[in-house]
Structure 1
Amino acid sequence: MIDTANLSPWLWLVAPLVVIFAYTVFGMSGFGSTVISVPLLAHFLPVSYLVPLMVLLDLCAAIFVGSSGRQHVSREELKRIVPVMFVGFALGVTLLVKVPEGPLKFALGMFTVIVGIHGILNPVLIRTISVWWSVPAALLGGAIATVFGAGGPIYATYLSGRLKDKAALRATISTLISISAFSRAIVYAIGGLLLHLTILGGMVVLAPFVWLGLRLGTRIHIGLTQEQMRRAIGVLLTITGATLLIRSVL
């Protein structure tokens, strides 16, 4: 899958720093690691290697965050989202793979930027959105996760309009990410994409940096107020959307 003998020496410096930063964001908000790390590490490693590797790392990270805050998970929201999310997985496999990648990334990026800017400018949740928004959020989040591995921004957009408690917001998003990552890991394993020593080796090498990032992100999360948490998620959504816009253009 990759030739370890010809890897850039810079990778050994860049990869730990990128992973620490990506999982600091994940530890703070419950999502965002894949969207941050894959575009940066793709300068050194093939995407076909990075995507299954990040699925394994995200699965471990989401279990860590979700288990440590499982008492805060909104089970009502999970009951609404998870069944429809699996329909979204099927939708992504059967339909979105046929859509040109550039326009799809551009549309998702524009939507995410708009929602992120709104969250920055309006950090106080005055009125919760309708539960019916869970249907398009779960469908789109599941489909986007299948194609890009980046369903987190969609789940965060919906849940930030439903949950007032920052701990519930983070724990519920990370639980959805863990379910999504576990499902995709099974698909990748069946397809033989995980059965490579280089992927398992990469997971072992990067795991300590994932743990460090999660610890830093958790400390930041604890120190944030409700409004600061919502603004932080707004900033993350804006950066995520901008990244997708740039990738769609380039």
Structure 2
Amino acid sequence: MAFGFDTIALLALIILLAYTVFGLTGFGSAITAMPLLVLLIPLRMAVPLMLVFDLAAGLLLGLKNRRVVDRKELLRLVPFMLVGMSIGLFALVKAPERLLLLTLGIFILAYCAWSLLLRPEVRQISSRWSMPLGITGGVFTALFGTGGPIYTIYLARRLDDKLVLRATISSLIFISGLSRLAMFSSAGLYGQESLPMLAAFLLPCALAGLYLGNYLHSRLPAARVVQAIWAVLIVGGASLVLRNIR
């Protein structure tokens, strides 16, 4: 591979961290990893790389909890998600990488501010929100693989059972992963040199993180986990904005 040992080691640690978060929460792997990955590899390599791991993780969690998935909510979101993903793929291929990274940084900081400062009340919302949130989530899913938080904003206000919520989010991420795989393959993103070998090398790190996250799910204080995740997101988002706004 065209990467040094230090780079490979750092990539492995990032993937391990990201999928530990995924195992703990059912989402958040890309939004945790992407600000760190783009310090080491190009965005157009990082996005299809993370997709390989999202598919593996989504398959494992989706199969484990498939009986409790809310299929009605999936059917509402998926068509709008696919529309958004088509828009996002066009931007990923055509837009300047600097602009995309700046957008990612702003998105992460806005999400942190919305969650930490506004503290919105979790209340039931209409199913009509599936259209704007599905499309927006699809755009950010194709661009950065970070649509999970947007889908969660919708589903957390539609589903009361935490197990059903976690299983439905995981299944939605897996469906979006299959769709992105087809889109990215047709766009030639998997033709990049070193990408297949890098994905094969780092996949065990993703699976190890997933196992670790599931193991720690009922053993760690939830507040401590959340605080650590927010710290990573804020630092990563701020660094992206500062680096690309100049």
| TM superposition score category, shorter chain reference | 0.7 to 0.9
Name stretches of at least 5 consecutive residues in structure 1 with no aligned partner. none
Deviation at 1:78, TM superposition (A): 0.5
Q: Is 1:69 paired with 2:65? A: yes
Residue by residue over 1:83-107, the C-alpha shift from the partner in whole angstroms, topping out at 9 and shown as x without a partner, is 1111212333457966954674465
Q: Distance in 1 between matches of 2:152 and 2:72?
A: 16
Q: Distance in 2 between matches of 1:246 and 1:221?
A: 29
Aligned CA distance change for structure 1 residues 186 and 16 (closer, same or farther; 3 Å): same
Decide whether the 8 Å contact of 1:116 with 1:233 is kept in 2.
Answer: no
Q: Is 1:204 paired with 2:203? A: no
Residue by residue over 1:90-142, the C-alpha shift from the partner in whole angstroms, topping out at 9 and shown as x without a partner, is 333457966954674465335412332269x67x95x3222222221101000
Q: Distance in 2 between matches of 1:108 and 1:87?
A: 20
Deviation at 1:71, TM superposition (A): 1.7
Q: Is 1:8 paired with 2:11? A: no
User: Given the alignment, which residue of 211, 221, 240 partners 2:217?
Assistant: 221
Decide whether the 8 Å contact of 2:36 with 2:236 is kept in 1.
Answer: no
Match of 1:112 in 2: 111
Q: Is 1:19 paired with 2:15? A: yes
User: Given the alignment, which residue of 195, 199, 204 partners 2:191?
Assistant: 195
Q: Distance in 1 between matches of 2:214 and 2:231?
A: 21
Q: Structure 2: which amino acid aligns with 1:116?
A: S
Q: Structure 2: which amino acid aligns with 1:132?
A: R
Aligned CA distance change for structure 1 residues 73 and 60 (closer, same or farther; 3 Å): same
Q: Distance in 1 between matches of 2:140 and 2:14?
A: 23
Q: Is 1:244 paired with 2:215? A: no
Name stretches of at least 5 consecutive residues in structure 2 with no aligned partner. none
Match of 1:182 in 2: 178
Q: Structure 1: which amino acid aligns with 2:43?
A: V
Q: Structure 1: which amino acid aligns with 2:237?
A: L
Decide whether the 8 Å contact of 1:108 with 1:241 is kept in 2.
Answer: no
Q: Distance in 1 between matches of 2:177 and 2:191?
A: 16
Q: Structure 2: which amino acid aligns with 1:117?
A: L
User: Given the alignment, which residue of 31, 34, 37 partners 1:38?
Assistant: 34
Aligned CA distance change for structure 1 residues 234 and 9 (closer, same or farther; 3 Å): closer
Greater shift after overlay, 195-204 or 22-31? Answer: 195-204
Residue by residue over 1:26-66, the C-alpha shift from the partner in whole angstroms, topping out at 9 and shown as x without a partner, is 11122221222232233332323222111111111111111
Match of 1:154 in 2: 150
Decide whether the 8 Å contact of 1:28 with 1:218 is kept in 2.
Answer: yes
Q: Is 1:80 paired with 2:80? A: no
Decide whether the 8 Å contact of 1:19 with 1:213 is kept in 2.
Answer: yes
Q: TM-score, normalised on structure 1?
A: 0.81
Decide whether the 8 Å contact of 2:105 with 2:236 is kept in 1.
Answer: no
Decide whether the 8 Å contact of 1:27 with 1:216 is kept in 2.
Answer: yes
How many residue pairs match? The answer is: 240
Decide whether the 8 Å contact of 2:88 with 2:143 is kept in 1.
Answer: yes
Residue by residue over 1:172-212, the C-alpha shift from the partner in whole angstroms, topping out at 9 and shown as x without a partner, is 11111111121111112112221356222112211211111
Aligned CA distance change for structure 1 residues 178 and 40 (closer, same or farther; 3 Å): same
Q: TM-score, normalised on structure 2?
A: 0.82
RMSD between superposed Cα atoms in Å:
3.1
Identity percentage of aligned residues: 34
Aligned CA distance change for structure 1 residues 14 and 224 (closer, same or farther; 3 Å): closer
Q: Distance in 1 between matches of 2:95 and 2:8?
A: 36
Decide whether the 8 Å contact of 1:26 with 1:32 is kept in 2.
Answer: yes
